[in-house]
Structure 1
């Protein structure tokens, strides 16, 4: 339900409303693309979204242990694949660089790792690039606009809370059949949701047992991203580690949400100022990866993944060394692995190059 009082329209909402009046309603994924990536006013193009002063906090910002364990996973994967040299470590959407800085603090203890490392960060936001450079300190890195710009070769790709910002299309099952959910303009000139015409056949994401009122979502860009990952992993040995929140059972539902200053708001309010996300369809992700020739491990919950890597033992070691931080460490680890927190909602998947010679799945999966 909408609240009676809507915030004033942003400049981007006013622009989109004018475009819709002139050309007609747009799909939800088109709205997300404008709201997130508009060069002048899009959320990711203009803001520093992470941290207490931003709109959300990711796992690396909650505790250093998260990054340390991801570093352990990468280092062990590098050893599993015969310590290739040189190799690339690529992060998609590195935030403020916290995850990578924590990872490298662990990885530099592995003989030969840092000498073989070529670090690549895929980031479009100039402000975040500066924050990443500060976090990395003396560690040399190269920045890229897209994964396609990174040179081919052996390596490891990390994407933590990256897939959830892929724009989605939404479909609703009504009495007569399926309709696409669209964004239009109401009588007051504000953006509003509505339904498009009856579709001639159900969308590909629909299931035979979907009843009236069922909502199905698909991310058109997911296939393209998996194709990029596949082409890279076919050029040399390596793995991709994908961590995000979403559904691994293929259940229907409306997962489209907006966060503004750490509070959930209506997705059509604060346009360009709020973070827009949707649950990742892990079932579709794995199907696409396998169709492209990649082996997959997972999904497992973030709780299962981090526990298998020793998060509780690391927490206890830090508490012994810093008794005054016991409450903070206990609370932060609970946020990462608690079933009611990120531990149950977030899932982890690894994609494997067909050129790998390792036996068995990567650790944690």
Structure 2
């Protein structure tokens, strides 16, 4: 039993079963034993690899998309360039390098990283210099906001509900003789259709984050792009753990494995609309990167001697790799041109 497993077990004995949301929060962010609070989980030596760590092409395309949005909105003289959950700072570093080809943009940018982990904050400072760290999106300055979040929502706590003959019941983490186990709590008044055995997931923090970002984009100008893996309705059990680049039981090693769930892009779109923004149709990552010119960029890099560029492009865009599972959605103010590579949701509502 890990140290954090013992702490969780003691809490359950004292107060009863806990929600998956509480379990995820403890496992990922406990100040002494939490996953993100104690380690650098990225790359071959960690537990998983994100798109920015695969190749610079990903960050360059993201940076150029935000750069064109900045140009389209009149080149604000000062703006917040923000990233939630910035990992090692690789995505921001690659975006900034691409943005430097746009005269005046990096001079106007005030970089703001939304990061809860003290360990990762230091990693980001070592990579990017003396950047500003914030605890939440609400702490962003009141100015135009150009934000990109990659694999941020998937690590936010979720709740799960299972349909039974009595109605929806919340899935909870409790105890058995062998340790932690999943069970069902009391019936809850959840107004969603379902048949016995169906599971639905809800990420309240993700929706609140998206709505807050949308409100800021509407109030001050700017654009936001959120990229993650997921689908369109939140049904199904997608709660998962990754340790040493391999899946495992999410209850097996609390604090020592990455815990995530698929993102419900329908919920993000609804949150963006509540915030008053124009919301894009979710795009498959492969389609979006290709529309931005990633294949041509990869070929130029390959011609210049980058032997890994074309293989990286395949990993990022191929349907059998990250190209279809990962998706992107964007927010922008009414009256502004669409963020490059995106089409407003209203125009393709039936295809979402």
Deviates more, 1:218-227 or 1:58-67: 218-227
Distance 2:234 2:93 in 1: 36
What is aligned with 1:55?
47
CA contact (8 A) 2:162 2:200 kept: yes
**Deviation per residue, 1:215-269 (Å, 9 max, x gap):** 1110121232123213322431111110011112x16210000011111010001
Counterpart selection for 1:173 from 163, 169, 194: 163
What is aligned with 1:264?
247
Counterpart selection for 1:25 from 13, 17, 38: 17
The alpha-carbon deviation at position 311 of structure 1 amounts to 0.9
1:216 aligns with 2:200: yes
Provide runs of 4+ in structure 1 moved above 4 Å: none
The alpha-carbon deviation at position 37 of structure 1 amounts to 1.4
TM-score normalised by length of structure 2: 0.93
Classify the secondary structure of the residue corresponding to 1:90: strand
**Deviation per residue, 1:145-200 (Å, 9 max, x gap):** 22222211112011100000111111112233322111100024x1101111334x
Classify the secondary structure of the residue corresponding to 2:169: strand
Instruction: List gaps (5 residues or longer) in structure 2.
Output: 343-352
What is aligned with 2:348?
none
**Deviation per residue, 1:63-86 (Å, 9 max, x gap):** 110011111101111100010001
Distance 1:255 1:317 in 2: 38
What is aligned with 1:15?
7
What is aligned with 1:331?
311
TM-score normalised by length of structure 1: 0.90
CA contact (8 A) 2:201 2:234 kept: no
Counterpart selection for 1:84 from 57, 60, 76: 76
CA contact (8 A) 2:47 2:244 kept: yes
1:233 aligns with 2:217: yes
Classify the secondary structure of the residue corresponding to 2:323: helix
Distance 2:219 2:336 in 1: 16
Counterpart selection for 1:278 from 258, 261, 265: 261
Classify the secondary structure of the residue corresponding to 2:280: strand
Aligned residues: 342
Matches within 5 A, 1:1-365: 9-136=1-128, 141-188=131-178, 190-199=179-188, 201=189, 203-204=190-191, 206-207=192-193, 210-248=194-232, 250=233, 252-322=235-305, 325-326=306-307, 328-354=308-334, 357-359=335-337, 361-365=338-342
Root-mean-square deviation (CA, aligned residues, Å) is 1.5
